[in-house]
Chain A
């Protein structure tokens, strides 16, 4: 019974829903990265351990502290009443920073193959296009919900 459970559920058991594996011993391909400007690329590489292999706990701690600081900054900006029309763009900018921080470093997209970045970015663009289209439809076509 336990053997059946193992066959069906474990990674090495090749359970019927498991797709073929790629050898884990393969090293991660060197990431080409999203930035082509040379000095910015150097800075980016310095910050992200050169895009080679995964970073270590110290680097992840720096990212976590950065995310915590940005969250605090969001809260502070939210309480500032004088920002007026700048409030929402600033909040979206900080939100985007956190989003990129998690996706690039915690999800290892920065250190992984560019295909993963392409897939995710394509879906993001598609998703955001649907999102914006829906908002524009209601704003300009005069549709009422």
Chain B
């Protein structure tokens, strides 16, 4: 009897009012709210841009070539993610494993770049307490890094679940949701890279203030 109930439960198809997956709808709504979350921090960065009264200033400290490499790594992790989902839907286990773990490794490499960058900045005297640039920069990129870290952990769990056979083509939506989150952190970085690194890279001290680095 109980077995019958369990079987029925597993094959029952839930009908939703929109005809769409509620979980996917929830994820898109969450991502929409996260857009506003990051939008507020990016706006704050721009409001305080060029208003630091002491250094280090962006033109003294930002390393564009290195950040470009890490940006490229994150973009390629998105590519790996979309392939992982594609091959999971095709039920090709080996190659799905490869791409899921590729995303995890590429994400970890990106975080490695961020750790090196933060350490380098701290050595050169830029911390969240140093000036307005430091405060807004570390909060924004740190929050993004936090998102990436959560994504890495989530995808590592997905990789493990796939290895154990719990993630299959019939429940590929689990990976799709993780993928949506992962692509989202990628698009946030696309904006951060442009706004903080490329646009602000030549920012020095405000007019009338000499460039004195602590």
Contacts and interface: CB of A to CB of B under 8 A. Distances in A.
Contact of B31 (A26, A68, A120): A120
Interface of A: prevailing SS: helix
Given A74-B198, A116-B25, A145 B48 contact: yes
Interface string B1-29: 00000000110011010111111111011
B144 interface: no
B180 A91 contact: no
Interface of B: prevailing SS: helix
B23 A91 contact: no
A110 to B, nearest CB: 12
B171 interface: yes
Contact of B47 (A78, A128, A135): A135
Nearest to B191: A95
Interface in A55-78: 56-57, 60-61, 63-64, 67-68, 71, 74-75, 78
A46 interface: no
Interface in A89-124: 91-92, 94-95, 98-99, 102-103, 105-108, 113, 115-116, 119-120, 122-124
Contact of A115 (B10, B20, B26): B20
B105 interface: no
Given A92-B194, A102-B190, A116-B28, A124 B68 contact: no
A24 B173 contact: yes
Contacts of B32: 119-120, 122-124, 127
Interface stretch (B33-41, B111-119, B120-128, B148-156): B33-41
Interface string B171-205: 11110100110011011001101100011010000
Contacts of A21: 13-14, 21-23, 173
A84 interface: no
Contacts of B93: none
B18 A115 contact: yes
Contacts of B64: 75, 78
Contacts of A56: 86
A107 to B, nearest CB: 5
Nearest to B95: A57
Interface of B: 9-10, 13-14, 16, 18-26, 28-29, 31-33, 35-36, 38-40, 42-44, 46-48, 51, 64-65, 68, 71-72, 75-76, 78-79, 81-83, 86, 89, 132, 161, 166, 170-174, 176, 179-180, 183-184, 186-187, 190-191, 193-194, 198-199, 201
Given A20-B14, A116-B25, 16 more contacts: A22-B22, A24-B171, A24-B173, A54-B86, A57-B83, A57-B86, A67-B75, A74-B194, A98-B187, A106-B186, A113-B20, A119-B28, A122-B32, A127-B35, A130-B39, A135-B46
Interface of A: 6, 10-12, 14, 18-24, 26, 29, 54, 56-57, 60-61, 63-64, 67-68, 71, 74-75, 78, 88, 91-92, 94-95, 98-99, 102-103, 105-108, 113, 115-116, 119-120, 122-124, 126-128, 130-131, 134-135, 138, 145
